[in-house]
Amino acid sequence: MARVALVTGGSRGIGAAISIALKAAGYTVAANYAGNDDAAAKFKGETGIPVYKWDVSDFDACAAGVAKVEADLGPIEVLVNIAGITRDGMFHKMTKDQWYAVINTNLNSLFNMTRPVWEGMRARKFGRVICISSINGQKGQMGQANYSAAKAGDIGFVKALAQEGAKAGITVNAITPGYIGTEMVRAIDPAIIEKAILPHIPVGRLGEPSEIARAVVFLAADDAGFITGSTLSANGGQYMV
């Protein structure tokens, strides 16, 4: 029986690429989304991957969502935490709402989503938790104090939880993408990409969502059981740790 994988933010951008790649690798995939019903319906129609709507910043909604997915598809054995938002602004102008919106969605969601699946993974002696952090959680980014703090917190979460899951057969890892050619990034003025972004990326191009997806498939595999607590940088050499 195929392992069940749940991808938060799994119907658009990098999340959609991850959902599609996991399905192609033989997993039974569920894609969570937050609010874009039209995009989610289109994704479901094109891929056949079921979609489930809830807010990952709400613990009770996450618990109910996990229960629904497991009732429909079976126990969740692979969890990919990717759902995230940005509310950028220089810190001296940043509002409380901007700060907490990003922290709640990008960091607190890791607890909200992982806690409901954790005990089942422990009982079955198998689990894969993969958290999509960011290059900006490693190096910081001006105008993104909230986002950088949340994404750095993701890495700390992974390092701590990996130690707890190891003896139960659960691996917990992070991937830190750099600039990836999603719809949002490609909407940036091409001149800005050419002059202000690409010169800082040694490979000379944006990453592709499929490249992040392949990294997720690798970490999700049964054969990746000796890799845990790791942070896999996928940024074209822009920032080397």
Query: Annotated catalytic sites, by residue?
Result: 147
Count of positions (residues) in the chain:
241
The tokens describing 102, both together, are 């990003």
Q: Say if residues 233 and 176 touch (Cβ distance below 8 Å).
A: yes
Which residue do the tokens 């750099």 mark?
A: 178
Cα 96 versus chain centre, distance: 24
In one-letter notation, the amino acid at residue 137 is: G
Task: Label the pairing between strands 76-81 and 51-53.
Answer: unpaired
Task: Please check whether residue 158 is in contact with residue 128, taking contact to mean a CB–CB distance below 8 angstroms.
Answer: no
Question: Please, which residues bridge with residue 132 across strands?
Answer: 175
Contact between 108 and 98 under an 8 Å Cβ cutoff? The reply is no
